[in-house]
Structures are given as C-alpha cells and as structure tokens.
Structure 1
Amino acid sequence: MGTVIMHNVVSVDGFIADENDGVGPLHEWYFNGDTPITEGDDQHDHSGTGTAFKVSRASAEYVRPMWESIGVIVMGRRLFDQVNGWEGRPPTGDHVVVVSHRPKPAGWHPEASYHFVDDVAAAIDKAQELAGERTISVAAGDVGGQIFAAGLVDEVAMDVVPVVFGSGRRYFGGIRGQHLLEEPHVVVQGDRVLHLKFAVRRRTD
C-alpha cells in the first residue's frame, strides 16, 4: 500500500488560504529560484499563470523526488472547482480522487483519470487501489482534515512560508481534539519556505 501524505503550503499561523481563498505570498517560492522542479518545466506550466515552477536548488532537491513518488492526489470539491481540476492534468501523479457529493461535471475531460466519491474512507480506498505502491498526496483543508482525523494519514508535510494570515482556511480544516505527530524527520530550508515532514503518531489506546 502507498504512503498517505497530507500536504500543503501553509502560513506560520496554520492557514492555506485567506477567507476569500486567496493564497497571497504562499506560492511565491514556486517562482523565486532558477531550478525547475521537474524536467521540462521550462516548457510546461503547472501553475495556470503562464509561468513554470522554478524554485531554489534546496527546494527542488526536496520537492522533485516527492512529486515523482506520487501516484494519486486526493482533494475536495472546493479545490477541484477552484482550479477546474487542472484541466485534467494534475501537477503530479496519474490519478485524482475528488471527495464530493456531486458527480463529475458532465463531459468534463473524459480522458482524465478523475474519480468522484462521497466519503473520505472510500476516497483513500480508491486512491490505494489506483496508487499501488506509490504515494497518495492528500490536499490539506477541510477534506484533508477529515481524512487526518479518521486516522488515514501516515505523514504530514508542510511547506511553511514566513507570513501570518490571521484568519482564513486552516491547514487541518475544522479538526477538533489533540493529535500528536512525531519529531520532524525532514527539515529543509528553501528560499522563503521551510519544508517539514512529520510521521503521524498512532494511538495505542
């Protein structure tokens, strides 16, 4: 089974977007370096801005193998609608699972391997089926928080940007209660970003 990693860029006070879904400076580090994340990034635009991702060398050395390991992205319907599912071409991985009570839009990119399910446990089951031994990347936010609270996440990955939002959309959504993580086993300093990875501490009671 593939490792399930909850991942997102996040402010130092724990927000992945402001109250209007704006990301402000959170994604600036994707464009402040001279090293493409993947081969051919000079020609391929992942961002939807007309600009390819180019990051610092330290960030590229961290992000590149992580992206290459991903087989499936799991996301909520809100993010899907915001980016229109990246027009059927996710930035990494071969498949996407969308947690939604609404079906895939009629006629939307029938060639793309996008699967719509209405339950977080079913989403991870489908992702494991599609991923094989590859990594499953869970987008943080409300759906990611539900998957985390259900005990279905193995690792938490944060790209922490030095900005304070004060309010907005939280990395862990509306999760309640205390959940322990292990000490970070990855700490990488990029340019205007700190990459962190934590294993989730499993409950023993």
Structure 2
Amino acid sequence: MRTVTYGAACSLDGFIAGSDGAIDWLHFSSDVEEVMAQYWSTVDTVLMGRKTWEFSAGQDFSADDTKGNEATPDLSGTPPMTTYLFSRTLTDAPQGVELVSSDAGGFVNRLKEQPGKGICLMGGGDLAGSLFEAGAIDEVSLNVHPVLLGSGVPFFKPQARRIALELTEARTLDGGCVLMTYRVRH
C-alpha cells in the first residue's frame, strides 16, 4: 500500500505561512535541497487543497529564478507528478491536474491501494484535517524553522480526535532547522 505523507516547513509555533501569506522566513540550503531531492524521488503523486493550489499558482519557482538563490529551492530536478486538486467550489482544473470534489478521505484511501510510489499531501490544514479523520495520512514530516511568527496559516487545524505518532527521524539542518518525521499509529 502507498504511503501518504503530510509535510511542510513550519515555524516553531506551528505556522506554514505568515498571516499575510509571507514565506520569506523559510531557509533553504544545500542540505535542505538534498532532503527535498531525496523525498521527491520517492513520490509520484501530489495532493493539494484549493487554497494551497491558489497560493502555489501565485509563486514562481522556475529553475531559472531559483538557481543560486538561497531563499528559494531549486526545483528543476523534480520529476513530473500526478496532481489532484481537492475543491468543492472549483468547477475545472488546469490541464494535467485532476479535480476531486467528492469525499477526499475515501478518494485518497482508494488511491493508496493503486500501484505507485508515495503520495505527498502539500499545504494547509483543511484538507489534512479531513484526511486525518479518514485515516488516510501515514506520515507527518516537519522542517521546523527557528522563528516564531505569532500568527498565520497553521500547519495543523484542530482535530476531532487524538492522533498517536511515532518518531522515525529527527535531525538538525543548516540554519538551525530541525527535520522531524513521524509515522501515524493507525
């Protein structure tokens, strides 16, 4: 069965973006790029909610703009991914992206049973909350940055139930970041 990993960089106080959507506090370095490259080699599917999709569409992560810039990652080596966009309000998606407006948890649990590599859940907590509730998330991976934002977009939304986790990795990255990966105990 395929593994769904919910992961992102976050502030020490648990935000993935500032209250104005700012991500200028993110630290990218060669070891972060190495971690990202290794991770992306293990996945072939990306899941995004509407808000994350709209935010990502507004970012410019082209290879030409990121080479040599410590503030943004070099994503030029990222292989093509099957992308699913989850929304109850959108009626269409860009070419090459599949729009899912049905039960997200059921869809992802069925997707996990299909052949393929790992599945990456990107972004904020709305979609993650429904997937946690459906038991569809298998791992949580955080790159915790040494900054307190005070407010913003939370990595986790309030959950209806307690979710037990088991630490599988913890290590320090350049810039004082700490990478932590947890397995969800189903």
Band the TM-score falls in, shorter-chain normalisation: 0.7 to 0.9
1:101 aligns with 2:85: no
Code of the residue aligned with 2:49 in structure 1: it is G
- % same residue: 24
State the match for 1:75 in structure 2: 48
1:16 aligns with 2:16: yes
Cα distance, 1:23 vs structure 2: 2.2
- Correspondence 1:54-203 to 2 at 5 A: 55-56=29-30, 58-84=31-57, 93-105=80-92, 109-110=94-95, 112-125=96-109, 127-128=111-112, 132-139=115-122, 140-182=124-166, 184-192=167-175, 193-202=177-186
> 1:15 and 1:158, CA in 2 relative to 1: closer, same or farther beyond 3 A?
same
> 1:18 and 1:118, CA in 2 relative to 1: closer, same or farther beyond 3 A?
farther
Between the two proteins, the alignment pairs up a number of residues equal to 169
The gaps in structure 2 that reach 5 residues or longer are 63-74
* Whole-angstrom distance in 2 between the partners of 1:133 and 1:153: 16
2:105–2:135 Cα contact (<8 Å) kept: no
* Whole-angstrom distance in 2 between the partners of 1:138 and 1:14: 17
Task: Give the secondary-structure state (helix, strand or coil) at the position aligned to 2:39.
Answer: helix
Cα distance, 1:200 vs structure 2: 0.7
1:145–1:172 Cα contact (<8 Å) kept: yes
* Whole-angstrom distance in 2 between the partners of 1:18 and 1:153: 25
Q: What is the alpha-carbon root mean square deviation over aligned residues?
A: 2.7
Code of the residue aligned with 1:62 in structure 2: it is V
1:98–1:123 Cα contact (<8 Å) kept: no
1:12–1:162 Cα contact (<8 Å) kept: yes
Code of the residue aligned with 1:8 in structure 2: it is A
- Relative to the length of structure 2, the TM-score reads 0.77
2:87–2:99 Cα contact (<8 Å) kept: no
The gaps in structure 1 that reach 5 residues or longer are 31-54
